[in-house]
């Protein structure tokens, strides 16, 4: 596609000062980022124009509806992707999740204004008897998450239930897969995207070098409509500094009692007259979720 003037494009992958964009006609082309414009991220909508040779240059980044971020080693927000409809949090029987991993992800997704979906993968495998009790409890709490209103999709790339339920959720939406290393994100993507090798090869051709799918956040087109973003696996999802309102809002079952505490600045820990703590004592908020909140609160202070 020859660019006569500026045209809209979708960022498929971003490598610092350059990346690859998808043009309206389906062509993937290398693209440079102007320093004065700023760096676009995977999932960004941008306006591009013809640059030197066959490459393009980003002239502007169109307004984002959201960013998905995680904290770097210094606790600073690091943008991973933009313009998402949902975040698919993948957990599995092996490796088991760490104790508060799910709450970290859910808290982050809620604070960013994006819809979370829990994907319980490798359901064909039994939880190993020698695994830590904390990790096994995360999976045992799946009915509790479902009762709270979270969408949970059970998947297996080898046997039933397969991935049909997940495929339906992705249709005509922009989604990102996140989770620990080893939970099977790559296997899920290989089944969801039968033409992934073709798409990856096109990215490699566009950049003129091999793509590093294990270390880069990349966006793929889903057959039948929609986009799927794959992000590098992490062992522990880092949170950035959150204010108290963001922290309490990340636990959606607290909502009926927020604003009813004796003190306006109540953080729902040991303050007298705390409506949230009273709801826990009455069994209206699950004790294990409240304990997870307290641990995250202590880490955030």
CATH of the domain at 35: 2.40.50.140
Residue-number span of the structural domain to which 250 is assigned: 244-300
The answer as to whether 1 is a domain residue is: no
**Residue pLDDT, tens place only, 114-132:** 999 999 999 988 876 655 5
pLDDT at 15: 85
**Residue pLDDT, tens place only, 45-91:** 999 998 777 779 999 999 999 999 988 888 888 899 999 999 999 99
Number of domains in the chain: 3
The reply to whether 209 and 114 lie within a common domain is: yes
Interhelix angle 101-111/287-300, rounded to 10 degrees, is: 70
Cross-strand bridge partners of residue 46? 9, 61
The answer as to whether 236 is a domain residue is: no
Write phi, then psi, for 87 (nearest 5 degrees): -115, 120
pLDDT per residue, tens digit, the chain (301 aa), is 555 567 999 999 998 888 999 999 988 989 999 889 989 999 999 999 987 777 799 999 999 999 999 888 888 888 999 999 999 999 999 888 888 999 999 999 999 999 999 999 999 888 766 555 678 889 999 999 999 999 999 999 888 888 989 999 999 999 999 988 889 998 999 889 876 666 776 566 555 555 444 457 899 999 889 999 988 766 567 788 899 999 999 999 999 999 999 999 999 998 999 999 999 999 999 999 999 999 999 988 6
* Cα separation, 282 vs 277, whole angstroms: 9
The reply to whether 189 and 73 lie within a common domain is: yes
Predicted TM-score (pTM) of this structure: 0.89
The reply to whether 180 and 200 lie within a common domain is: yes
The reply to whether 75 and 196 lie within a common domain is: yes
CATH of the domain at 138: 3.40.50.300
């Amino acid at each position: 596609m020859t660019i006569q003037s500026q045209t809209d494009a979708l960022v498929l992958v971003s490598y610092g000062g350059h990346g690859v964009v998808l043009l309206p006609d389906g062509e993937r082309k290398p693209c440079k980022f102007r320093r004065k414009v700023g760096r676009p991220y995977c999932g960004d909508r941008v306006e591009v124009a013809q640059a030197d040779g066959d490459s393009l240059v980003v002239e502007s980044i169109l307004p984002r509806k959201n960013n998905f971020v995680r904290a770097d080693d210094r606790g600073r927000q690091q943008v991973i992707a933009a313009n998402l409809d949902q975040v698919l949090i993948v957990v599995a029987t092996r490796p088991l999740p760490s104790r508060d991993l799910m709450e970290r992800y859910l808290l982050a997704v809620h604070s960013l204004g994006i819809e979370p979906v829990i994907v319980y993968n490798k359901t064909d495998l039994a939880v190993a008897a020698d695994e830590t009790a904390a990790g096994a409890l995360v999976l045992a709490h799946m009915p509790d998450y479902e009762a709270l209103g979270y969408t949970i999709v059970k998947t297996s790339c080898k046997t039933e239930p397969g991935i049909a339920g997940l495929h339906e959720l992705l249709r005509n939406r922009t989604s990102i897969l996140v989770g620990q290393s080893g939970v099977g994100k790559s296997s899920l993507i290989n089944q969801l995207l039968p033409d992934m090798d073709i798409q990856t090869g096109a990215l490699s051709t566009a950049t003129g070098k091999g793509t590093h799918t294990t270390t880069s956040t990349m966006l793929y087109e889903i057959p039948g409509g929609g986009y799927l973003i794959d992000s590098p696996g992490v062992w522990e999802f880092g949170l950035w500094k959150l204010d108290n309102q963001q922290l309490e809002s990340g636990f959606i079952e607290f909502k009926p009692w927020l604003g009813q505490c004796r003190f306006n600045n109540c953080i729902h820990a040991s303050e007298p007259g705390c409506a949230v703590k009273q709801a826990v004592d009455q069994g209206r908020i699950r004790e294990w979720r409240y304990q997870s909140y307290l641990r995250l609160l202590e880490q955030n202070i």
